[in-house]
């Protein structure tokens, strides 16, 4: 080899495995937070799985756009919605959105997608006969739907 010939820079051998390991770690962290791993679904990273009631509260909290504030169990769904969402009516539009969110959060309860939870179940001025009025009512209906 001629001394004047330019040489290609060599990549140290340790950089490649470190890069691959770091990429795998970042992908795993992203996957956990994105729900890629169903065996970790509905579990907090630092603790035991969430109860169905706590999962319901979390769904309502996100649906009503409440930020970090958790709704109390006796809070009325229509009132929670109306506090932060004025452009969409609670009944039936927001109820349909909540149903979709519940079905996504509880895939192990297929009955929720097959009629166990419907828009007429929600209590509202336009539908005073609805049995789901509060966060707890919704949690009880979800828990009554049998899991797979």
User: What confidence tens digit (pLDDT) does each residue in 23-56 have?
Assistant: 888 877 777 666 666 555 555 556 678 899 999 9
> Is residue 24 a part of any domain in this protein?
no
Q: Does any domain span residue 12?
A: no
Answer yes or no: is 110 within a domain.
Answer: yes
Residue 116 belongs to domain spanning: 44-144
Q: Could you give phi then psi for residue 109, rounded to 5 degrees? A: -120, 80
Domain assignment present for residue 26? The answer is: no
- Centre a 10 Å sphere on the Cβ of residue 36 and count the other Cβ atoms it contains: 12
Q: Flag whether 60 is in a domain.
A: yes
Number of domains present in the structure of the chain: 1
| 4 falls within a domain | no
- pLDDT bin (cut points 50, 70, 90) of residue 6 is confident
125 belongs to a structural domain: yes
Q: Which of 11-15, 21-25, 27-31, 110-114 is least confident?
A: 11-15
């Amino acid at each position: 080899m001629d001394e004047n010939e330019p040489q290609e820079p060599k990549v140290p051998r340790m950089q490649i495995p470190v890069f691959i390991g770091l990429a795998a770690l970042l992908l795993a962290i992203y996957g956990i937070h994105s729900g890629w791993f169903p065996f970790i679904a509905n579990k907090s990273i630092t603790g035991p799985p969430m109860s169905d009631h706590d999962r319901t509260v979390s769904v309502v909290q996100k649906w009503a756009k409440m930020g970090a504030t958790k709704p109390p169990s006796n809070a009325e769904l229509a009132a929670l919605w109306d506090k932060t969402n004025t452009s969409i009516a609670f009944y039936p539009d927001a109820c349909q959105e909540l149903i979709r969110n519940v079905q996504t959060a509880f895939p192990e309860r297929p009955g929720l997608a097959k009629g166990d939870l419907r828009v007429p179940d929600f209590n509202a001025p336009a539908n005073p006969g609805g049995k789901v009025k509060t966060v707890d009512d919704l949690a009880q209906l979800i828990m009554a739907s049998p899991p797979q």
